[in-house]
Chain A
């Protein structure tokens, strides 16, 4: 079945460690997005990519990094520079242009111990 897959679903990290969240899609979508969601809050845009080998910062990119080496993959690294990384992270994709429907993964919950 076509869809978007995030892994891991739950992740625990010690302070000072970098962690990478995986996002893979087999929908042949050009655009991919990473959002952060805090409890009871909306989604805040971290990074987005419209095409392979290109990506743009969103509203809260500090302390995060991404790569887009393949069309189907858009991993997010939460670095030790991110001061409050505990959150629910959502990846999404859409067709070219990014102005259509977003398809979301089931999310990754990161907890810093």
Chain B
């Protein structure tokens, strides 16, 4: 079964706007990661946040984690057309497996 569920399923914004995607998960985790996938390609790692962290930044990316609510959010600031892609959250359990959500399809219009 998929561990994470992203929300919304699809998001369309104008260039320069911020994009926020959410992820909810079901069981305890060691860390939560966000990945990006361009159509028909492999996934690329964006950022990892550990279970004892609440917020992390990397360039235009900001990730938050609320373990009490079992949820995370990914904020992309000042979006660009090149940010158009699908974004997935991934979590691992104590079995050292990695499970992904269904993803959010982000479209940034120039």
Chain B facing A: main interface SS: strand
Cβ of A98 and Cβ of B43 under 8 Å apart?
Answer: no
Cβ of A102 and Cβ of B31 under 8 Å apart?
Answer: no
> Given A100-B48, A104-B42, do A43 and B100 touch, yes or no (CB 8 Å)?
yes
Interface residues on A, range: 20 to 34
Cβ of B43 and Cβ of A48 under 8 Å apart?
Answer: no
CA distance A76 to B6 in the complex (A): 28
Among the 9-residue stretches B14-22, B62-70, B77-85, B88-96, the one with 4 or more Cβ atoms under 8 Å from chain A is: B88-96
| Chain A residue contacts of B105, Cβ below 8 A | 40
Interface residues on B, range: 20 to 34
Partner of A42, one of B42, B96, B101: B101
Cβ of B42 and Cβ of A106 under 8 Å apart?
Answer: yes
| Chain A residue contacts of B2, Cβ below 8 A | 42, 44, 59
Min CB–CB distance B12 → chain A (angstroms): 15
Min CB–CB distance A60 → chain B (angstroms): 10
| A residues with CB within 8 A of B | 31, 33, 35, 40-45, 48, 50, 56, 58-59, 88, 90, 92, 94, 97-107, 109
